[in-house]
Amino acid sequence: MENPAFEMHGATPPAFSRSKEEFQSKGKSSTMKFFLLCLLASIITTSLGILILSLIFGNCWEFPKDSGGNEELGKEMEEKTDPKFRFLYHLRESKIYKYQGGEIQWARFRRDPREYENPEVREFGKSLNFHKSQITLGMLRIRSRGLRAPHWHFNANEHGFLLQGSAWIGILGPDHSQAVTYNVTEGQVVFFPKNSVHWVKNVGKEDLIFLLFFSTHEELLTLDVDDVFFSTPEDVAARALKPKGGVGFIRTFQKPGEDQSINLPKNLDQLIHNSTFPQSPDSQVWKFFYDLPGSPEFPFPGGIFRWARFRKNGTGLTENQRIFSQSLHEHENSLTLATLRIFGNHLGIPHFHFNANEMGVVISGCGQVGVVLPEGSSLFSVGIGDVVFFPLGSQHFIQSFCQEDLLLVLAYNTGNQLETLRMNQYFPGISHQILAQLFHKNQEEFQKIPKNSR
């Protein structure tokens, strides 16, 4: 049997039986051809790599120039957007997602840039994701008797502030725990840990409005119970639930033709004959509920804070405050909620946070906001319905410009105690000789600034 490996050690093949000069000349020529071929292959490979990367990453934030008739929108998106929209979002003007029993509006990041309505919305969404905000905001409206279908979130805890109305809340934790149910009224706070099944039912006569904060800067991943049910094979559902009638009973369920995320059937009175809204024992409810209006006020010159938060030192906390505080701390990536009231024509002192991004919604009043980051600063006006975002470490301030108080609902992406440093603390705390050298100003001049002012 012929073996090419052995032939290499046998008689010299004709291709190698040339003179030394011919061999050297041919060798040089072959080497040069080989080099040129390798160089060409390298250039082609590099070019293809750059082209692929540019297609993947280059278009991450750019609209296609021809996206189904949206060429003008694509060109508009390419224009430079005012940097203030990294920190400002007009929630009232955002897209409304309508359902049978209500609607929702979002201040969030979207993976597909074509889902942003305009350059300003895109700029805000990009900013949340870039700074890893771990906060997404939704404003949920449920009509009277409407229901936010039972559901759970894969990638976020949820914290809600009830802006208007009254609700009946249900939540199911892991294993064999029973549902915890309770009633919520205006100004109170609810907490739904990640992957807990929960629902919200409007039990009042007016629209229910919730401000919802989710602990993610990615797109929110959610499953509704009805969608899961209709995606499960009939025999599997029958074996799991064991209903009377078996598979036959399961087959009586009819999948609605529209999304039921916020549900309000037209024949509701025919479906429900006896509705009660029970309240679970307080010790269970307080893990997921906080009476913010009934909590202590924390005044500062110019305004008042109220907090739904974890506190390391539980001294002075009531039992329900202690249970809620501990519940936040036990769940990874939970948020801290607060209300901030700045009195008319007063200032919230410039400050920054060591351990949290901050997002807030203006509920009443009007004002001005300033944000300073390494890449620059922004100064802009805010009014009712505006959302503001302050990245971790950014110095920021809020001041009221109206006779009316400026009221905001705030969320911070920490379940630990918030760490903050204010300008009137760090500036006077720096040695006078350092400040004199930094600002080219006589050292004694800095004695005019009082130390440890609040």
Confidence of residue 312 (pLDDT cuts 50, 70, 90): confident
> Is 27 part of a structural domain of the chain?
no
Question: Is 37 contained in some domain?
Answer: no
CA distance 318 to 142: 32
347-406, pLDDT tens digit by residue?
Answer: 999 999 999 999 999 999 999 999 999 999 999 999 999 999 999 999 999 999 999 999
Confidence at 31, pLDDT banded by 50, 70, 90: low
Domain that includes residue 390, residue range: 293-422
Cα-based distances in Å from 259 to 117, 141, 209, 332: 22, 16, 20, 31
Question: CA–CA separation, 454 vs 45, rounded Å?
Answer: 62
Comparing CA positions, the residue from 195, 130, 197, 204 lying closest to residue 165 is 204
Question: Do the domain assignments include residue 300?
Answer: yes
Same domain, 108 and 226: yes
Residue 90 CB contacts under 8 Å (≥ 6 apart), including other chains: 120, 385, 386, 387
Q: What is the CATH number of the domain that holds 230?
A: 2.60.120.10
Mean pLDDT score, 6-25: 38
Q: What is the pLDDT of residues 61-115, one digit of tens each?
A: 332 333 344 445 444 544 688 999 999 999 999 999 999 999 999 999 999 999 9
For the beta carbon of residue 86, count every other beta carbon within 10 angstroms: 24
Q: Where are the beta strands (DSSP E) in 194-272?
A: 197-202, 208-214, 222-224, 262-263
**DSSP code of residue 6:** H
How far is it, in rounded angstroms, from Cα 229 to Cα 352? 46
Report pLDDT digits (tens) over 120-130. 999 999 999 99
Average pLDDT over residues 296-306: 95
Same domain, 437 and 384: no
**The predicted structure's pLDDT at residue 22:** 43
181 is written with which tokens? Answer: 């149910």
Query: For the sheet containing 395-400, what is the strand order?
Result: 376-382, 367-373, 395-400, 347-353, 420-422
| Predicted TM-score of the model (pTM) | 0.82
Q: What percent of the chain has pLDDT over 90?
A: 78
Q: Report yes or no on 12 lying in a domain.
A: no
Answer whether residue 249 shows pLDDT above 70: yes
Domain count, the chain: 3
Q: Both 108 and 147 in a single domain?
A: yes
HSE of 248, CA atoms in CB hemisphere, 13 A? 2
Q: Are residues 375 and 437 in the same domain?
A: no
d(CA 139, CA 146): 15
Residue 2 inside a domain? The answer is no
Whether residue 233 is found in the same domain as residue 90: yes
190 found inside a domain = yes
Same domain? 242 vs 300: no
Residue 35 has pLDDT above 80, yes or no: no
The reply to whether 88 and 233 lie within a common domain is yes
- Same domain, yes or no, for 356 and 368? yes
In this structure, are 103 and 235 located in the same domain?
Answer: yes
Same-domain check for residues 127 and 199: yes
52 domain residue, yes or no: no
Average pLDDT over the chain, rounded to an integer: 87
Q: What is the pLDDT of residue 29?
A: 54
Q: Note whether 448 and 408 are same-domain residues.
A: no
- Res 62: pLDDT: 34
CA angle 139, 144, 145 (to 5 degrees): 110
Whether residue 416 is found in the same domain as residue 316: yes
DSSP 3-state assignment of 318?
A: coil
**Is residue 31 domain-resident?**
no
